[in-house]
Chains A and B, each alone.
Chain A
Amino acid sequence: MTSSAWLKWLLLAAGLALLAFMPFLIGEYPLNMVITMIIYSLFALSYNVLFGQAGLLSFGHAAYFGVGAYTSILLFKKLGLSLLPGILGAGLAGAVLGVILGLFVVRLGGTYFALLTLAFNALIYAGAEKWRGLTGGEDGVAAMRPDLHIPFLGNVEMFTTVHWYYFVLIVVLLCTWFCWHFTRTPLGRLNECLRENEDRARFIGYNVYMSKVAVNVISAFFAALAGGMAGAFQEFVTVTFINLDKATDVLIMTFVGGSGTFWGPILGACFLTYLNQVLSDLTEHWTLIQGILFVLLVMYAPQGLSGLLISLKDRFWSARAGKLSPAAKGEG
């Protein structure tokens, strides 16, 4: 194993250990922020399946997130489901929506994808606003977070922040593992091939259209799962879960973190959630600062923060390698 691979495993292990002991290290208020970070990390990861891996720029990912949030809350409230079925139901609802919208939005590709996702997000938003009997319109719906029912072991109450933290952490880690694994499956590889050269994929004989729909469904499933957890976390859902701001938030998080790496979106979600919490106390112009940061990155660092970190690391490594032997450069 090379030293950089060792470093990767070491960082991963340290990160997991930190996450496992987090509730013992910080108080309840910051722990709530960490939960938000974890949920948005999943949202951004799901977004990057489309944006970073498939090269599809979506302005409508809030549709899945919001539908997931509404679904989980309504399943808790109307059907009295326990936590896990409610969250899974949210993911499934997102996946179904992903099929329906996917059939429309991937038809024309490229810029049209951006345009259509935005329009369909507006459609779903209008639906949530008008269907007052189900969604409560602008007033929203509320439902208590139910217990987690584990077969043969009994119920775990989820009211305690620490319990809820571990639940969210485990679900998101599993999803993260799946998303990571997905990039190495044939469909995941094809996904990146579609980004690089769609014509060639078509020429080899792949069904480009259906592959894109499939990828859209996977992305929608995880976005809705994140939405389901966000809804359960706040115990309340309203149209702000599904509006254009929510859709652009996840785009900004993913881009700022860097869409070119797997962990970039997670970095972006954590970084911006943290800044949002800290800076919105200090200045009311936080969103303007976020916008300026975004534009500067678009213009000067299109690989986002993770791209900047990697080039910093490369510079550091090559400087050290250069001291030892100039020929060692380029290895590792």
Chain B
Amino acid sequence: MDTLAALPVQALHGLVYGMLLFLVASGLTLIFGMMGVLNFAHGALYMLGAYFSWSILQWTGQFWLSLLVAPLLVALGGVLIERFCLRKVHSYGHAHELLLTFGMAYIIEELVKIFWGNEPLRVLLPSLLAGSIPLLGIEYPVYRLFILAVSIIVFIIMFFVLYKTRAGIIVRASVANKQMVDALGFNVPLVFLVLFGMGAWLAGLAGVIGGPYLITNPAMASTIIIDLFVVVVVGGLGSIQGALIASLLIGQLQSIGILILPQFAIFFEFLLMALVLIFRPHGLMGESK
């Protein structure tokens, strides 16, 4: 197959990865925008989603059950980290909060190695999702379309919640001006706790559906964290639209890049980041504060 004919398929691959990346990045960027906390453990929470799901599958053999339960467990973990660790160091400033979440990521990665081992794990997919269908002239794996479907559904729900409900308005207002929301009488720490839990849930969900696709292994967290940070820089602080655009861009850069210049594909996203830093230092959709 020549390069041009492979283009649509690669673009679809890129879209799948981009949407997955967005699921993880959306929580990260909202948390960052609201409290200035760059949650280093976000990648680790995503990885936990993949591993919890693997274990639930081992015990019960139910993929759909793991899709439901594993993200909830990750959300619980996220809430515990926020309530009992992160909140304690809040008064020391952002650098300490970042250090704490970094320490958490470090511990989670070590625990994953202890409980699940260093080797990549194989996830057995239900037969409904395991096959492939003819699409764009090739046999396309159903599972990747499933990832795309799930992430689009979650994306639509998230936008609806953020833009059409009272809770979403409070969250967006908190990202824009935390002090004012606090002054209006809302419980900002509680809003943040819920946001943190939701972010963890999204990361966990992305881990569950991404695990079988990107291979469940202990390096998952440190691999995705770099892409996540690039998304935050390129998209702009606290901007959910920016995160979407940046995630999709990175997905395309990686998959199309591999097609054109396989040796240098990995450098494209850094090039994008450097260009954004030079010409729009506050990100594509970010506002300078």
Contacts and interface: CB of A to CB of B under 8 A. Distances in A.
B233 A298 contact: no
Contacts of A108: 277, 281-282
Interface string B269-283: 010011001100110
Given A114-B38, A126-B267, A244 B229 contact: no
Nearest to A292: B107
Contacts, number: 91
Interface in A278-298: 285, 287-288, 291-292, 294-295, 298
A136 interface: no
Residue of A111, A126, A294 contacting most chain B CB atoms (<10 Å): A111
B102 A248 contact: yes
Contacts of B232: 115
Interface string A98-126: 00000010011011101110111011001
Nearest to B92: A302
A130 interface: yes
A122 B273 CA distance: 12
B266 A57 contact: no
Contact of A298 (B100, B226, B264): B100
A248 to B, nearest CB: 7
Contact of B38 (A104, A115, A126, A291): A115
A43 interface: no
Interface in B99-124: 99-100, 102-104, 106-107, 110-111, 114
Given A119-B226, A119-B229, A295-B85, A107 B99 contact: no
Q: Classify the interface of chain A: helix, strand, loop or mixed.
A: helix
A299 B270 contact: no
Interface in A223-275: 244, 248, 251, 255
B232 to A, nearest CB: 6
B266 A126 contact: yes
A164 B192 CA distance: 54
Interface string B75-111: 0000000000100110010111011101110110011
Nearest to B100: A298
Interface residues of A, number: 34
Interface in A125-159: 126-127, 130
B222 interface: yes
Given A119-B233, A126-B267, A285-B114, A57 B107 contact: no
A248 B106 contact: yes
B233 A299 contact: no
Query: Residue among A122, A127, A255 with the most chain B CB within 10 A?
Result: A122
B220 interface: no
A294 B233 contact: no
Contacts of A307: none
Interface string B240-273: 0000000000000000000000011011001001
Nearest to A126: B266
Interface in A54-69: 55, 57, 59
A118 B229 contact: yes
B225 interface: yes
A309 to B, nearest CB: 20
A298 B99 contact: yes
B95 A123 contact: no
B98 A111 contact: yes
5 contacts: A110-B36, A114-B98, A119-B273, A130-B266, A288-B114
Given A57-B99, A120-B270, 19 more contacts: A55-B95, A57-B98, A104-B278, A108-B277, A111-B38, A111-B98, A114-B95, A115-B229, A116-B229, A116-B273, A118-B225, A119-B233, A122-B270, A255-B99, A287-B106, A291-B103, A294-B106, A298-B96, A302-B96
Interface of B: 32, 36, 38, 85, 88-89, 92, 94-96, 98-100, 102-104, 106-107, 110-111, 114, 222, 225-226, 229-230, 232-233, 263-264, 266-267, 270, 273-274, 277-278, 281-282
Interface of A: 55, 57, 59, 104, 107-108, 110-112, 114-116, 118-120, 122-123, 126-127, 130, 244, 248, 251, 255, 285, 287-288, 291-292, 294-295, 298-299, 302
